[in-house]
């Protein structure tokens, strides 16, 4: 994990751009789900993104790993960071609003702190982190609604599926730290998405049947967006912001994603969220800010 850094205005701009791109992915996925089954959708997302990134790897003449150990790590990373969370969240979006999905997705940072504390000695759970985690869990419970815990229906199952996806993201982050440190980010992302595709291609054929390519123009536009912009392009921007701002400050992107997804869901899909969802996001955001600490804006001072 990279150390905490100050945030320059340029890093802020790129972090916000990353949040906007990821926020738009929830709408594009929901639109595509009208025509494409879940597993096939995730295959489109990972397969096209992998192809795009490998083209960049070849153009940039980056070294391609040959060790079986690294390719095994790519397979596991693809499963944890793409196959499981992308699949669970896409399925969840069939039954809950895109805005609520994006709010629950913000719990990734909360579970990431917990998993890191369990696995890494240098990531111990301090009092500040414990307070942030506690507020985060309170926010998740509020967003879901306490009444959902009293009955177990399809909607509550979908919300739990989204949360399970965030737990998978947290373990993926730990796996990457153990096994993929030192690789060029572009190669690591391409390898991970290739591992995902190797899982998804047979699964999609078995579960959904052969993919249908005669799709509506807006479906293809959605695929292009969430595969090329919100996956391949976003990974490139993610690593750039990580280098500029540090991993701690990068968590702030999770505060940008839900407002974007909520507005797009309301404007395009006419979704309406309950007040408890907004209250839950406020608590979750407070928890994330506490976890992150106070980001410092880098200032250029004139020299005498």
- Closest to 235 (Cα-Cα) out of 39, 48, 36: 48
CA atoms within 13 Å, Cβ hemisphere of 85: 23
Residue 208 banded pLDDT, cuts 50, 70, 90: very high
Beta bridge partners of 297: 7
CA distances from 254 to 15, 97, 118, 150, 286 (A): 10, 17, 22, 29, 12
Average pLDDT score over residue span 206-217: 94
Indicate whether 299 pLDDT > 50: no
Cβ-based neighbours of 131, under 8 Å, separated by 6 or more: 287, 290
Average pLDDT score over residue span 201-208: 97
Spatial separation of the C-alpha atoms in residues 235 and 85, rounded to whole Å: 16
Spatial separation of the C-alpha atoms in residues 290 and 285, rounded to whole Å: 9
Please give, one letter per residue, the 3-state secondary structure of the chain: CCCCCCECHHHHHHHHHHHHHHHHHHHHHHHHCCCCCHHHHHHHHHHHHHHHHHHHHHHCCCCCCCCHHHHHHHHHHHHHHHHHHHHHHHHHHCCCCHHHHHHHHCCHHHHHHHHHHHHCHHHCCCHHHHHHHHHHHHHHHHHHCHHHHCCCCHHHHHHHHHHHHHHHHHHHHHHHHHHCCCCCHHHHHHHHHHHHHHHHHHHHHHHCCCCCCCCCHHHHHHHHHHHHHHHHHHHHHHHHHHHHHCHHHHCCHHHHHHHHHHHHHHHHHCCCCCHHHHHHHHHHHHHHHHHHCCCCECCCCCCC
Residue 7 φ then ψ, to 5°: -110, 120
78-133 tens-digit pLDDT: 999 999 999 999 999 999 999 999 999 999 989 988 998 899 888 888 898 899 99
What percent of the chain has a predicted confidence (pLDDT) above 70? Answer: 92
> For position 182, what pLDDT does the model report?
86
Residue 59 banded pLDDT, cuts 50, 70, 90: very high
The two three-digit tokens of residue 54, written as one number: 């490998």
- 192, 77 in Cβ contact below 8 A? yes
> For position 154, what pLDDT does the model report?
87
> For position 6, what pLDDT does the model report?
64
- 36, 226 in Cβ contact below 8 A? no
């Amino acid at each position: 994990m990279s150390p905490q850094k100050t945030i320059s205005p340029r890093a802020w701009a790129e972090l916000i751009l990353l949040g906007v791109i990821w926020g738009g992915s929830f709408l594009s996925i929901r639109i595509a789900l009208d025509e494409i089954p879940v597993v096939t959708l995730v295959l489109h997302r990972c397969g096209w993104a992998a192809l795009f990134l490998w083209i960049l790897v070849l153009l940039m003449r980056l070294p391609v790993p040959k060790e079986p150990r690294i390719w095994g790590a790519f397979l596991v990373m693809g499963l944890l960071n793409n196959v499981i969370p992308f699949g669970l969240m896409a399925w969840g979006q069939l039954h809950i609003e895109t805005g609520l999905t994006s709010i629950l997705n913000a719990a990734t940072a909360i579970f990431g702190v917990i998993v890191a504390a369990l696995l890494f000695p240098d990531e111990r759970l301090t009092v500040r982190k414990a307070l942030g985690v506690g507020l985060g869990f309170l926010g998740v419970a509020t967003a879901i609604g306490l009444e959902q815990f009293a009955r177990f229906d399809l909607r509550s199952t979908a919300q739990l599926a989204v949360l399970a996806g965030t737990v998978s993201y947290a373990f993926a982050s730990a796996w990457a730290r153990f096994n993929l440190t030192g690789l060029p980010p572009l190669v690591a992302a391409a390898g991970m998405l290739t591992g995902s595709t190797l899982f998804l291609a047979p699964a999609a054929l078995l579960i959904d049947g052969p993919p249908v390519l005669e799709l509506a123009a807006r479906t293809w536009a959605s695929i292009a967006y969430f595969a090329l912009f919100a996956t391949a392009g976003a990974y490139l921007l993610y690593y750039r912001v990580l280098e500029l701002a540090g991993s701690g400050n990068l968590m702030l992107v999770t505060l940008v994603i839900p407002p974007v997804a909520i507005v797009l869901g309301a404007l395009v899909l006419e979704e309406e969220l309950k007040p408890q969802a907004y209250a839950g996001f406020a608590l979750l955001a407070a928890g994330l800010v506490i976890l992150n600490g106070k980001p410092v804006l880098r200032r250029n001072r004139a020299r005498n």
